[in-house]
Amino acid sequence: MKRVSSEPGYQAPTVTVSSSLPRKGVDEAVLVIGVVSDDAGPKVAAVQPYLDEEAIAAVESHLQALGATGGEGQTHRLVVSSLPVASVLTVGLGKPREEWPADVIRRAAGSAARALDKVGTVVTTLSAIDLEAAVEGLILGAYRFNDFRSAKTAPTDTGLTAITALTAGTTAATKGQAGRAVDIATAVATARDFVNTPPSHLFPDEFAERAKALGAAAGLEVEVFDDKALAEGGYGGIVGVGKGSSRPPRLVRLIHRGSGKKPKRVALVGKGITFDTGGISIKPAANMHHMTSDMGGAAAVIATVVLAAKQKLPIEVIATVPMAENMPSATAQRPGDVLTQYGGITVEVLNTDAEGRLILADAIVRACEDEPDYLIETSTLTGAQTVALGSRTPGVMGSDEFRDRVATLSQAVGENGWAMPLPEELKDDLKSTVADLANVSGSRYAGMLVAGTYLREFVADGVEWTHIDIAAPAYNTSGPWGYTPKGGTGVPTRTMFAVLEDIAANG
């Protein structure tokens, strides 16, 4: 039931590409096809040459009879006896288009996968429109987390184990695309698994061990600082936040060495609060359990550096991941305490619930010692993110050009990060009467931007940087949609990987 740190993690379904609908061996499979909402009724999309005229006509007349519209995400299960599969699942793509945005296909594939809970094998024509999006969407939509279910409620089926993706070319390049999609989806699932693992079982030392095991398996260099090393090293923010817990903090570093002459170096930093009670500035009980997601940034960063290694990106990627549990106790830090962040800046801790910025500041200073060209930091940092942007839109802050580049790429992959400013005047709100800085401002205005302003103080001059606030987007507390289940979402793993690929390609 419980996964131990040495066991392999998430296992993706196997993906095969094929240029025609197999006639044999798919009799247990469900054929997933896209449907557009045409004026005359639902029309199947991009099914030729995989399906013949007769099958297409059968599907369309069935859909007509069922009152299907082809609206986005709408699914219908049909039996078409002339096809060599057990059944057909149609999924709506909305209005017909010449060009398909990848995320429309990804979401449709995800909705299809969610409608096929007990199906092990899927064949799809969505891949004829966009191979990678179809494969990613199917795998992400089929994701389930059952590590903590006993036989009483554990599913008895295997879930999705095999995908046959129909596509024109089956060259090495096509297979590479399918493999890339599998690797990306695996990384997202890995991040989701971390977020979904409860705080009883994922605490700093265990989180560090699992990160280390994943990193070692991917051929990364791994360093783990324990609480003693952190205290000796002067990591006052991580030590201060962690000292209220019986389960001491950690700092994990995972290094992917790039190939080539002078590869670009990218630092990744992710917030790893394995549970955030608020500390002495304790949170209200309602929804406190959502704070199991407060290591979502760390989860995505670990998954991303492992993915960079798997995909052999020709750049250097160095992840610096602080991990702590924010608890109230007799040994906890107090509101009014002063601590010294790594690097020497002193901070008056006015609110122990603004703990993320304290552990991140240490990690950012350490990450900048490696002299990276770029720094991407991500964290479930502020409730103000949700107030400003809602539950699905990460706030992207940082140096102007890089921030905009990251937001644009985030939108391209369907994670939809949005650029936000760091107005200069906010810095004055972080003045302390006793220390260099206070960890909170005295007002409720622009809480997301104030947190970003705090972090900016710790980024070394000349480093292009971005801060991605994923407070709500990391954890889906409403219903499932598209390829996003309830619980951990894996955001912003795909954004960060897209940025790494873009840096590898364009510098």
Annotated binding-site ranges for Mn(2+): 271, 276, 294, 353, 355
Q: What, of Zn ion, ligand BES, Mn ion, none, does residue 447 touch, CB below 5 to 8 Å by kind?
A: ligand BES
Q: Is the backbone of residue 234 left (phi > 0), alpha (psi -120 to 50) or beta?
A: left
Handedness of CA 89, 94, 99, 105 (dihedral sign): negative
For residues 311 and 352, which CB has a smaller minimum distance to Mn ion in the complex?
Answer: 352
**Minimal distance, residue 450 CB to ligand BES, in Å:** 7
- Lookup: tokens for 279: 């500390």
Of 77, 144, 283, 392, the active-site residue reads 283
- Lookup: tokens for 353: 């619930």
Task: Using CB under 5 A, pick the residue from 353, 362, 415, 464 that binds Mn ion.
Answer: 353
- Lookup: tokens for 298: 């760390």
- Lookup: tokens for 177: 């695309």
C-beta pairs of 63-67 under 8 Å, 24+ apart in sequence? 63/35, 63/90
**Minimal distance, residue 471 CB to ligand BES, in Å:** 4
3-state secondary structure of 441: coil
Q: By rule CB under 5 A, what string of x and - marks binding of each residue 287-316 to Zn ion?
A: -------x----------------------
Cβ atoms of 342 and 225 within 8 Å: the answer is: no
Cβ atoms of 352 and 333 within 8 Å: the answer is: yes
Spatial distance between the Cα atoms of 76 and 69, rounded to a whole number of angstroms: 10
Task: Using CB under 6 A, pick the residue from 105, 109, 116, 354 that binds ligand BES.
Answer: 354
Handedness of CA 178, 180, 184, 186 (dihedral sign): positive
Cβ atoms of 164 and 18 within 8 Å: the answer is: yes
> Treating both helix axes as pointing N-terminal to C-terminal, what angle do 204-217 and 172-196 enclose, rounded to 10 degrees?
170
**Minimal distance, residue 352 CB to ligand BES, in Å:** 9
Cβ atoms of 459 and 364 within 8 Å: the answer is: yes
Q: DSSP letters along 148-194, please?
A: T--TTTS-SS----EEEEE-S--SHHHHHHHHHHHHHHHHHHHHHHH
Residue list 345-364, contact with Zn ion (CB under 5 A) = 356
Which among 194, 156, 385 has a CA at the least distance from the CA of 274?
194
**Minimal distance, residue 50 CB to ligand BES, in Å:** 44
Q: Does residue 183 interact with ligand BES by CB under 6 A?
A: no
Task: Using CB under 6 A, pick the residue from 440, 446, 468, 491 that binds ligand BES.
Answer: 440
Task: Using CB under 5 A, pick the residue from 132, 183, 276, 325 that binds Mn ion.
Answer: 276
Phi, psi angle pair for 346, to nearest 5°:
-95, 145
- Lookup: tokens for 30: 């469900």
Q: What, of Zn ion, ligand BES, Mn ion, none, does residue 183 touch, CB below 5 to 8 Å by kind?
A: none
Q: Is the backbone of residue 43 left (phi > 0), alpha (psi -120 to 50) or beta?
A: beta
Spatial distance between the Cα atoms of 375 and 357, rounded to a whole number of angstroms: 15
Q: What, of ligand BES, Mn ion, Zn ion, none, does residue 92 touch, CB below 5 to 8 Å by kind?
A: none
Q: Does residue 325 interact with Zn ion by CB under 5 A?
A: no
Of 180, 192, 265, 357, the active-site residue reads 357
357 is catalytic: yes
Task: Using CB under 6 A, pick the residue from 136, 193, 276, 415 that binds ligand BES.
Answer: 276
Burial of 436 (0-12, 13-18, 19+ CB in 10 A): middle
Which among 230, 460, 271, 480 has a CA at the least distance from the CA of 355?
271
* Amino acid symbol at 216: A
For residues 220 and 384, which CB has a smaller minimum distance to Zn ion in the complex?
Answer: 384
Q: Does residue 469 interact with Mn ion by CB under 5 A?
A: no
For residues 122 and 202, which CB has a smaller minimum distance to Mn ion in the complex?
Answer: 202
Which among 401, 393, 322, 375 has a CA at the least distance from the CA of 496?
375
Q: By rule CB under 6 A, what string of x and - marks binding of each residue 140-169 to ligand BES?
A: ------------------------------
Q: What, of Zn ion, ligand BES, Mn ion, none, does residue 351 touch, CB below 5 to 8 Å by kind?
A: ligand BES
Q: Does residue 432 interact with ligand BES by CB under 6 A?
A: no
Widest Cα–Cα separation across the chain:
79
Which among 381, 421, 402 has a CA at the least distance from the CA of 465?
402
Residue list 334-353, contact with ligand BES (CB under 6 A) = 351, 353
Total number of residues binding Zn ion (CB under 5 A)? 4
Residue list 7-36, contact with ligand BES (CB under 6 A) = none
Residue list 452-481, contact with ligand BES (CB under 6 A) = 471-472
The binding site comprises: 271, 276, 294, 353, 355
Residue list 366-385, contact with ligand BES (CB under 6 A) = 380-384
For residues 124 and 352, which CB has a smaller minimum distance to ligand BES in the complex?
Answer: 352
Q: By rule CB under 5 A, what string of x and - marks binding of each residue 215-254 to Zn ion?
A: ----------------------------------------
For residues 375 and 470, which CB has a smaller minimum distance to ligand BES in the complex?
Answer: 470
For residues 156 and 287, which CB has a smaller minimum distance to ligand BES in the complex?
Answer: 287
3-state secondary structure of 36: strand
Total number of residues binding ligand BES (CB under 6 A)? 17
180 is catalytic: no
| Binding site residues, ligand BES, CB under 6 A | 276, 290, 294, 351, 353-356, 380-384, 440, 447, 471-472
| Binding site residues, Zn ion, CB under 5 A | 273, 276, 294, 356
| Binding site residues, Mn ion, CB under 5 A | 276, 353, 355
Which residues are known to be catalytic?
A: 283, 357
